[in-house]
Amino acid sequence: MCFRKDGGSMIGISTLPYYESDISDILNYLADQRYVEIVEIYAECHDIPNDTLNSFDFEYTVHAPTNDINISSNLERIRTACLDVIEDYAMRASLIDAKRMVIHPGYFIDPFKERFVESHRRSLSYITDNISIEYSIEIAIENMFWPFSFIRTAEEYREINELYGIPLILDIGHAAISGELENFLSCNPVELHIHDNNRRDDEHLGIGLGKIDFSQVIPLLKDKDAIIEVKNKDHLCESIQILSKFL
């Protein structure tokens, strides 16, 4: 047994490090360990089988697909196709009463950034005003770090949030790479994605295996859901044990 947190915020595990495993095997393993209250279904790796998921006593979040998805595409058919994918996963997430669904922001190509900005805003408006309401699910956006991605800075997120009221998923590793961690901490995220890195590359290491100073994150752990998103499942238990010391 690793750790189970009672009351307040919840600790969860992403299915990302189990990308080669069947979802039922993953859930059986996590149920036996009894240290996790939320499972993030990483849709890039796993489907969302209603009967299987509903047979376990977990809360769920869904990480919508990101490969080939650009909600800020300047090509309207691509943009609307991406929204169709997001809407499909919002529907699936609603069928398992998921706590929320995570999406990535769009990205742009210079020198046409302004066109992509407009497309991005149209998509966010549709997501918050239509998809989220239609399926009664909270849809939150994750901060990124690539120079061609939107939502790289806390200031940019605040502008978007003021316009569309979309909640923030604070990815600690991404914020460390972009040098914006301290600024993002004041943006009232609804959920934290926890992993470590060398502050240059998106390594998704276990806590303590990189160079991120997690001490500044500790105050948020008292009332925010924390999803551990490591790539190597061997880093999982140690990360939970380290995290538990701050709770």
pLDDT above 90: residue 3: no
Residue 236: phi and psi, rounded to 5, are -70, -55
The pLDDT of residue 11 is 87
The pLDDT of residue 8 is 60
The pLDDT of residue 10 is 82
The C-alpha atoms of residue 169 and residue 101 are separated, in whole angstroms, by 10
The pLDDT of residue 243 is 82
Q: Residue 185 in 3-state DSSP?
A: coil
Instruction: For 132-163, write each residue's pLDDT tens digit.
Output: 999 999 999 999 999 999 999 999 999 999 99
Residue 234 falls within a domain, yes or no? no
Residue 138 falls within a domain, yes or no? yes
Residue 13 falls within a domain, yes or no? no
Residue 192 falls within a domain, yes or no? yes
Global confidence as pTM: 0.94
- Provide the mean pLDDT of the chain: 94
Residue 94 falls within a domain, yes or no? yes
What are the tokens at 60? 């769920």
pLDDT above 50: residue 5: no
Instruction: For 8-55, write each residue's pLDDT tens digit.
Output: 678 899 999 999 999 999 999 998 875 789 999 999 999 999 999 999
88 is in which domain, residue-wise? Answer: 37-207+239-244
pLDDT above 50: residue 1: no
Residue 137 falls within a domain, yes or no? yes
Residue 203 falls within a domain, yes or no? yes
Read off the pLDDT band of 121 (50, 70, 90): very high
CATH code: domain of residue 111? 3.20.20.150
The total number of structural domains that make up the chain: 1
Does residue 116 contact residue 108 with C-beta atoms inside 8 Å? yes
Residue 73 falls within a domain, yes or no? yes
The C-alpha atoms of residue 183 and residue 185 are separated, in whole angstroms, by 5
What share of the chain in percent tops pLDDT 90? 85
What string of DSSP letters covers 48-83? --HHHHHTS--EEEEE---TT--TT-SSHHHHHHHH
Positions of E strands within the chain:
11-14, 38-42, 59-63, 100-103, 138-142, 168-171, 191-194, 225-228
pLDDT above 60: residue 218: yes
Instruction: For 150-196, write each residue's pLDDT tens digit.
Output: 999 999 999 999 999 999 999 999 999 999 999 999 999 999 999 99
Whether residue 111 is preceded by a cis peptide bond, meaning omega within 30 degrees of 0, is yes
